[in-house]
Amino acid sequence: MSQGRTIVILIAGGHASGKSLVSSLVEKELKSRYSEIKVRCLDMAEFTRPVVAGGDERSPSRFDFQAITDKVIDLEKRGYDVIIVHGLYALYDKELKTIGTIKVFIDCDADVRLGRWIKRDILEPSKVDQSLKLQESSKMNSLLTEYLTVSRVEMNDFILPTKEYADVILPRGAEIAGITLIVDGIQPLIKLESESESVGSVYDTRTESSSSLQSFSRESASKVQSNLRHNNAGPTLGSINKDNFTSKNKRFYDLN
């Protein structure tokens, strides 16, 4: 399908907020709408640096942002239509944010996240392997200690401040309204690409035309994001602009 500019979705949020699930559901929804679309999800957890003795394993420095950025650029060159990067610090690195077309932050309640974390890392594994039940108590103590002394501090100091860079804020994670919000938001860009393919290549890829993803350059992405902040269009997601995202996102908050 790919003939134009790759759409890069950045999905950030706290520990156990549902970043991986949101990413997979967005991928699934895109593939259900566009049979030939090429989508790739990247988990930032796969791009960590070795922890050195005495180093801080709960800070942004443990992630290799350059490797993540290089991977995104490589996938762009290989013709992927949509790349979804999800992780604690998806909205932290300046260069990665520059690459991003749409920036999402999952703003999930801390108690809810802790409950999910316990379920994911302790309760669910015990259901699969009964021998792990004997370790539940010690694992629970370790997890709570980590949460209270390290992860909560990391959330407040490093992760939560990145919310201000988000175009879309999801208050409850992987709910259908949030998934639809994201996919509907990029649909106009995908449609423009499909339309340009159907009539052939009529634009020079070196121009800055925003009417085709074939010329959707980094500068074009900046213009789109500027529109996301200043355009006064209506509350629908018929075009990709900030007011549309903000309006529908506000309604999503109000309904929840």
- Asked if 202 contacts 209 with a C-beta cutoff of 8 angstroms, the reply is no
The residue range of the domain holding 104 is: 7-109+160-255
pLDDT at 131 over 80: no
Question: Per-residue confidence at 226, pLDDT binned at 50, 70, 90?
Answer: very low
Q: Is residue 123 part of a domain?
A: no
**Structural domains of the chain, count:** 1
Taking residue 190's Cβ as centre, other Cβ atoms within 10 Å add up to 20
**What CATH number does the domain containing 197 carry?**
3.40.50.300
Phi–psi pair at 59, nearest 5 degrees: -150, 165
Q: Is residue 148 part of a domain?
A: no
Q: Is residue 152 part of a domain?
A: no
Q: Is residue 37 part of a domain?
A: yes
Q: Cα(91)–Cα(85) distance, rounded to whole angstroms?
A: 10
Question: Per-residue confidence at 135, pLDDT binned at 50, 70, 90?
Answer: confident
pTM of the predicted model over 0.85: no
Mean pLDDT of the chain: 77
Task: Tell me the two tokens of residue 208.
Answer: 């800055």
Placement of tokens 């800055």 in the chain:
208
Question: Per-residue confidence at 192, pLDDT binned at 50, 70, 90?
Answer: low
Question: Per-residue confidence at 91, pLDDT binned at 50, 70, 90?
Answer: very high
Q: Is residue 246 part of a domain?
A: yes
The pLDDT assigned to 210 comes to 33
The pLDDT assigned to 195 comes to 54
- Asked if 195 contacts 207 with a C-beta cutoff of 8 angstroms, the reply is no
The pLDDT assigned to 255 comes to 41
Q: Is residue 173 part of a domain?
A: yes
Lowest mean pLDDT: which of 4-18, 61-75, 123-137?
123-137
DSSP sequence for 18-48: SHHHHHHHHHHHHHHH-TT--EEEEEGGGSB
Q: Is residue 91 part of a domain?
A: yes
| Tens-digit pLDDT profile for residues 172-189 | 777 888 899 899 989 888
The pLDDT assigned to 222 comes to 47
Q: Is residue 1 part of a domain?
A: no
Question: Per-residue confidence at 57, pLDDT binned at 50, 70, 90?
Answer: low
